[in-house]
Amino acid sequence: MTDALSITRDLIRCPSVTPADAGALGVLETLLKEAGFATHRVTFSEAGTADIDNLYARIGTEEPHITFAGHTDVVPPGDEAAWSLGAFSGEVKDGYIYGRGAVDMKGGIACSVAAALDYLRDNGGQPNGSISFLITGDEEDVSVNGTIKLLQWAAERGERFDHCVLGEPSNQEVMGDCIKIGRRGSQSGTLIVEGKQGHVAYPHRAANPVPDISRLVVALSDEPLDHGSAQFQPSNLEFTTVDVGNTATNVIPGLARAKFNIRYNDCHTQESLRALVEERLRVACGNRIRARIDWLPSNSNVFLTKPGPFTDLAVAAIEEITGRKPELSTTGGTSDARFISSYCPVIEFGLVGQTMHQIDERASVADIVTLTKIYRGILDRYFG
């Protein structure tokens, strides 16, 4: 098979910490061009954010059209002196390839490219349909100049996707244990409680917001938002900071703030979720506490790819190679699949994610070989 390990190494050696590309997209573009893909490098911009380079490549003009998606940007390496091997070395030791992005998710991209090139080599250089790649450099940061705009750009060109495989590190413990078929949405906000500043020796002249915000934090946290759904775990609201901005011990503060994040399932939309929390706040405040919520904008909506022929196809390919029947899961945080789901059914399947974002991030060489075989199996079945 085409050497996915070498592609992984070449990608890792590009220090593409968001928003830098550092040559990573060029590595992929060269390989895909040589195989006959039509490639497009597209840069997107938005005020207040860095320009981001993206890559779209397609071979074939007919249906069905399967696209592989991913991101070449990575999180910072942290203390590079703490790495056993260089953070961007791409070196192999004891059966593992080391480097930032090995798991999340340069290894997954390398496997999908290798599988596609092998499929084309064995099938006359053309698929019985179309294969494409949607690769961004803006997933690990604000995600505004990457996949979301690349999809819009492709749609304006008349591109239509039938199915997508996103190579995020979905497996929990071993290859073949998990496919992500959905993700909960994410919504953040700040609870603001108004008081009246004053001297602590004269509390009757002030209104202390600290006890009030404590009561509201408990009130909003204690009652479940729901009890889960057929495919999703229960939604959860978690407070992450409480702050009054007060440096003095003898001053009652005039304002208190508490930041929170909600991970919500398909029992809610963004609008209905906000309405539910606002109503609970109104009840908890009664006629005395003055409080409001400042909601932050969110592009992380809940989505679900319902089990069906496409998930069955992926499960069959995974089971054939690994001997395991993967769980269809919706756990974890957000990913670019939330954007892709508006255009076509999408599943997430990649390497084992145990070391992602850690010092000594590494991927098993054996797992890279296995994942390449699985992607090839998906392509064989898809066009079979």
Q: Indicate whether 153 and 194 sit together in one domain.
A: no
Distance CA 98, CA 92 (A): 6
Q: Pick the last residue of a domain from 278, 295, 312.
A: 295
Q: Indicate whether 190 and 290 sit together in one domain.
A: yes
Share of the chain above pLDDT 90, in %: 97
257, two tokens? 């703030």
Q: Pick the last residue of a domain from 295, 324, 356.
A: 295
Give pLDDT, residue 352: 97
Determine which one of 10, 29, 53, 73 is catalytic: 73
Q: Indicate whether 250 and 356 sit together in one domain.
A: no
Burial of 271 (0-12, 13-18, 19+ CB in 10 A): exposed
Range of the domain at 198: 185-295
HSE-CB at 85 with a 13 A cutoff on CA atoms is: 18
Number of domains in the chain: 2
Give pLDDT, residue 1: 54
Q: Indicate whether 33 and 167 sit together in one domain.
A: yes
Q: Indicate whether 376 and 244 sit together in one domain.
A: no
152, two tokens? 């819009």
Q: Could you read off the pLDDT tens digit of each residue along the chain, which spans 384 residues?
A: 579 999 999 999 999 999 999 999 999 999 999 999 999 999 999 999 999 999 999 999 999 999 999 999 999 999 999 999 999 999 999 999 999 999 999 999 999 999 999 999 999 999 999 999 999 999 998 899 999 999 999 999 999 999 999 999 999 999 999 999 999 999 999 999 999 999 999 999 999 999 999 999 999 999 999 999 999 999 999 999 999 999 999 999 999 999 999 999 999 999 999 999 999 999 999 999 999 999 999 988 999 999 999 999 999 999 999 999 999 999 988 899 999 999 999 999 999 999 999 999 999 999 999 999 999 999 999 998
Is 73 assigned a catalytic role? yes
Residue 200 has phi, psi (to 5 degrees) of: -65, -20
Identify the helix (H) or strand (E) that includes residue 271: helix 270-285
Q: Indicate whether 18 and 132 sit together in one domain.
A: yes
Give per-residue pLDDT as tens, 25-82. 999 999 999 999 999 999 999 999 999 999 999 999 999 999 999 999 999 999 999 9
Spatial contact of 101 and 76, defined as CB atoms under 8 Å apart: no
Q: Which residues does 286 contact at the CB level (< 8 Å), separation at least 6?
A: none
Distance CA 169, CA 360 (A): 16
Give pLDDT, residue 111: 98
Q: Indicate whether 201 and 154 sit together in one domain.
A: no
CA dihedral (224, 228, 234, 237) positive or negative = negative
Q: Indicate whether 68 and 96 sit together in one domain.
A: yes
Q: Indicate whether 225 and 247 sit together in one domain.
A: yes
Q: Cα 32–33–36 angle (5° rounding)?
A: 90
Q: Indicate whether 179 and 82 sit together in one domain.
A: yes
Residue 378 has phi, psi (to 5 degrees) of: -65, -45
Give binding residues for Zn(2+) as ranges: 71, 104, 140, 168, 357
Q: Indicate whether 53 and 152 sit together in one domain.
A: yes
Residue 116 has phi, psi (to 5 degrees) of: -65, -40
Give binding residues as ranges: 71, 104, 140, 168, 357
35: CATH: 3.40.630.10
Give pLDDT, residue 2: 74
Spatial contact of 263 and 235, defined as CB atoms under 8 Å apart: yes
Is 139 assigned a catalytic role? yes
Give pLDDT, residue 150: 98
Distance CA 242, CA 220 (A): 14
287: CATH: 3.30.70.360
Q: Indicate whether 285 and 315 sit together in one domain.
A: no
Q: Pick the last residue of a domain from 295, 316, 346.
A: 295
Give pLDDT, residue 299: 87
302, two tokens? 């809940």
Identify the helix (H) or strand (E) that includes residue 373: helix 365-382
